[in-house]
Amino acid sequence: MGTTLPIPTIHPTLSHSALPEVPDDFKGRIVLGIDPGTLVMGYGAVVDRKEGPVLLAAGVLRAPAKAAVPQRLGYLGAELEELLMRLKPSVVVVEEAFCGKNVQSALRIGEGRGVVLAAAARFGAEIVQYPPAVAKRSIVGNGAADKRHVARMVARELHPAEVPDSLDATDALALALTYLHHSSPLGTL
Protein backbone atom coordinates (compact mmCIF):
# COMPACT_ATOMS: atom_id res chain seq x y z
CA MET A 1 0.00 0.00 0.00
CA GLY A 2 3.01 2.28 -0.22
CA THR A 3 6.22 2.96 1.57
CA THR A 4 6.17 4.17 5.14
CA LEU A 5 8.92 5.67 7.24
CA PRO A 6 10.63 3.42 9.76
CA ILE A 7 8.46 3.34 12.86
CA PRO A 8 10.13 3.50 16.26
CA THR A 9 9.67 0.21 18.07
CA ILE A 10 9.82 1.83 21.50
CA HIS A 11 6.18 2.85 21.28
CA PRO A 12 3.33 0.33 21.39
CA THR A 13 1.18 0.19 18.28
CA LEU A 14 -2.56 0.67 18.09
CA SER A 15 -4.37 -1.99 20.08
CA HIS A 16 -5.80 -3.78 17.07
CA SER A 17 -7.40 -6.44 19.23
CA ALA A 18 -9.59 -3.79 20.87
CA LEU A 19 -10.85 -2.47 17.53
CA PRO A 20 -13.71 -4.07 15.65
CA GLU A 21 -12.98 -5.30 12.15
CA VAL A 22 -15.83 -4.41 9.83
CA PRO A 23 -16.61 -7.19 7.34
CA ASP A 24 -15.89 -6.43 3.69
CA ASP A 25 -19.54 -7.01 2.77
CA PHE A 26 -20.95 -4.55 5.36
CA LYS A 27 -23.55 -2.39 3.57
CA GLY A 28 -24.07 0.39 6.13
CA ARG A 29 -22.50 3.82 6.17
CA ILE A 30 -19.59 4.25 8.56
CA VAL A 31 -18.38 7.77 9.20
CA LEU A 32 -14.93 8.27 10.72
CA GLY A 33 -14.11 11.63 12.28
CA ILE A 34 -10.47 12.60 12.78
CA ASP A 35 -9.13 15.34 15.04
CA PRO A 36 -5.66 15.78 13.53
CA GLY A 37 -2.40 16.40 15.32
CA THR A 38 1.25 15.43 15.10
CA LEU A 39 1.49 13.90 18.55
CA VAL A 40 -2.08 12.84 19.36
CA MET A 41 -4.73 12.19 16.74
CA GLY A 42 -8.30 11.58 17.91
CA TYR A 43 -10.60 9.26 15.99
CA GLY A 44 -14.26 8.40 16.30
CA ALA A 45 -16.34 6.14 14.06
CA VAL A 46 -20.13 5.90 14.00
CA VAL A 47 -22.53 3.73 12.04
CA ASP A 48 -25.48 5.56 10.51
CA ARG A 49 -28.72 3.82 11.50
CA LYS A 50 -32.40 4.74 11.18
CA GLU A 51 -32.66 4.83 14.98
CA GLY A 52 -29.71 7.21 15.20
CA PRO A 53 -25.94 6.97 15.10
CA VAL A 54 -24.22 4.09 16.89
CA LEU A 55 -20.68 4.29 18.25
CA LEU A 56 -18.38 1.84 16.47
CA ALA A 57 -14.96 2.85 17.83
CA ALA A 58 -13.22 5.86 19.32
CA GLY A 59 -9.86 6.67 20.82
CA VAL A 60 -6.53 8.26 20.06
CA LEU A 61 -3.46 7.44 18.06
CA ARG A 62 -0.45 8.61 20.05
CA ALA A 63 2.96 9.07 18.42
CA PRO A 64 6.21 8.78 20.38
CA ALA A 65 6.68 12.19 22.03
CA LYS A 66 10.47 12.18 21.69
CA ALA A 67 10.48 11.34 17.98
CA ALA A 68 11.09 14.04 15.39
CA VAL A 69 8.02 15.37 13.58
CA PRO A 70 8.65 13.40 10.34
CA GLN A 71 8.86 10.13 12.30
CA ARG A 72 5.73 10.99 14.28
CA LEU A 73 3.87 11.70 11.04
CA GLY A 74 5.09 8.39 9.60
CA TYR A 75 3.95 6.56 12.71
CA LEU A 76 0.52 8.23 12.72
CA GLY A 77 0.12 7.59 8.99
CA ALA A 78 0.81 3.87 9.39
CA GLU A 79 -1.56 3.60 12.36
CA LEU A 80 -4.26 5.56 10.51
CA GLU A 81 -3.98 3.27 7.49
CA GLU A 82 -4.51 0.25 9.76
CA LEU A 83 -7.49 2.00 11.37
CA LEU A 84 -9.02 2.65 7.94
CA MET A 85 -8.50 -0.98 6.89
CA ARG A 86 -10.23 -2.28 10.04
CA LEU A 87 -13.14 0.18 10.25
CA LYS A 88 -13.75 0.58 6.49
CA PRO A 89 -15.39 4.01 6.61
CA SER A 90 -17.17 5.29 3.54
CA VAL A 91 -16.68 8.88 4.76
CA VAL A 92 -13.74 10.44 6.61
CA VAL A 93 -14.42 13.81 8.24
CA VAL A 94 -11.44 15.97 9.13
CA GLU A 95 -11.23 19.18 11.08
CA GLU A 96 -10.60 21.97 8.58
CA ALA A 97 -7.48 24.08 8.91
CA PHE A 98 -7.82 27.19 11.01
CA CYS A 99 -5.38 29.86 12.05
CA GLY A 100 -5.43 30.49 15.75
CA LYS A 101 -3.14 32.74 17.73
CA ASN A 102 -0.23 30.29 17.62
CA VAL A 103 1.10 29.96 14.08
CA GLN A 104 3.39 27.07 15.02
CA SER A 105 0.40 25.06 16.32
CA ALA A 106 -1.53 25.80 13.12
CA LEU A 107 1.39 24.52 11.04
CA ARG A 108 1.59 21.30 13.10
CA ILE A 109 -2.14 20.71 12.77
CA GLY A 110 -1.76 21.26 9.02
CA GLU A 111 0.92 18.58 8.90
CA GLY A 112 -1.36 16.16 10.75
CA ARG A 113 -4.22 17.03 8.40
CA GLY A 114 -1.99 16.22 5.45
CA VAL A 115 -1.36 12.74 6.81
CA VAL A 116 -5.11 12.18 7.29
CA LEU A 117 -6.11 13.55 3.89
CA ALA A 118 -3.49 11.46 2.09
CA ALA A 119 -4.40 8.24 3.94
CA ALA A 120 -8.15 8.75 3.40
CA ALA A 121 -7.61 9.51 -0.30
CA ARG A 122 -5.48 6.37 -0.75
CA PHE A 123 -8.16 4.35 1.02
CA GLY A 124 -10.83 5.74 -1.34
CA ALA A 125 -13.16 7.24 1.25
CA GLU A 126 -15.20 10.36 0.64
CA ILE A 127 -13.40 13.20 2.43
CA VAL A 128 -15.33 15.99 4.13
CA GLN A 129 -13.88 18.91 6.08
CA TYR A 130 -15.54 21.14 8.66
CA PRO A 131 -14.16 24.09 10.60
CA PRO A 132 -14.11 23.48 14.36
CA ALA A 133 -16.84 26.11 14.91
CA VAL A 134 -19.23 24.33 12.53
CA ALA A 135 -18.85 21.04 14.39
CA LYS A 136 -19.30 22.76 17.76
CA ARG A 137 -22.40 24.58 16.52
CA SER A 138 -23.84 21.33 15.13
CA ILE A 139 -23.30 19.41 18.37
CA VAL A 140 -23.74 22.07 21.05
CA GLY A 141 -25.51 24.95 19.30
CA ASN A 142 -22.59 27.28 19.99
CA GLY A 143 -19.56 27.57 17.68
CA ALA A 144 -17.40 28.78 20.56
CA ALA A 145 -18.23 25.89 22.94
CA ASP A 146 -15.37 24.38 24.91
CA LYS A 147 -14.16 20.80 24.43
CA ARG A 148 -15.79 19.52 27.64
CA HIS A 149 -19.20 20.80 26.59
CA VAL A 150 -18.76 19.14 23.18
CA ALA A 151 -17.80 15.88 24.94
CA ARG A 152 -20.94 15.96 27.12
CA MET A 153 -23.20 16.52 24.11
CA VAL A 154 -21.47 13.78 22.11
CA ALA A 155 -22.04 11.39 25.02
CA ARG A 156 -25.70 12.40 25.18
CA GLU A 157 -26.21 11.83 21.45
CA LEU A 158 -24.49 8.45 21.46
CA HIS A 159 -26.11 7.14 24.62
CA PRO A 160 -25.93 4.51 26.02
CA ALA A 161 -22.54 3.91 24.41
CA GLU A 162 -19.41 4.43 26.43
CA VAL A 163 -17.80 7.53 25.01
CA PRO A 164 -14.06 7.77 25.70
CA ASP A 165 -12.64 10.27 28.18
CA SER A 166 -10.23 11.71 25.62
CA LEU A 167 -11.30 15.15 24.38
CA ASP A 168 -9.45 14.44 21.13
CA ALA A 169 -11.65 11.37 20.58
CA THR A 170 -14.87 13.22 21.44
CA ASP A 171 -13.87 16.05 19.07
CA ALA A 172 -13.43 13.41 16.35
CA LEU A 173 -16.84 11.93 17.16
CA ALA A 174 -18.31 15.44 16.98
CA LEU A 175 -16.97 15.73 13.42
CA ALA A 176 -18.54 12.39 12.42
CA LEU A 177 -21.87 13.38 13.99
CA THR A 178 -21.76 16.76 12.28
CA TYR A 179 -21.51 14.99 8.95
CA LEU A 180 -24.58 12.92 9.80
CA HIS A 181 -26.46 16.07 10.88
CA HIS A 182 -25.69 17.68 7.52
CA SER A 183 -26.40 14.67 5.30
CA SER A 184 -29.59 12.87 4.50
CA PRO A 185 -30.15 9.65 6.46
CA LEU A 186 -29.42 6.43 4.64
CA GLY A 187 -32.13 4.41 6.28
CA THR A 188 -30.57 1.16 5.11
CA LEU A 189 -29.99 -0.50 8.45
Residues marked as catalytic: 35, 95, 168
Helix (H), strand (E), coil (C) string for 65-128 = CCCCHHHHHHHHHHHHHHHHHHHCCCEEEEECCCCCCCHHHHHHHHHHHHHHHHHHHHHCCEEE
Pairing outcome for strands 40-48 and 29-35: antiparallel
Distance CA 99, CA 130 (A): 14
CA nearest to 164, candidates 18, 16, 17: 18
Specify the DSSP class assigned to residue 185: -
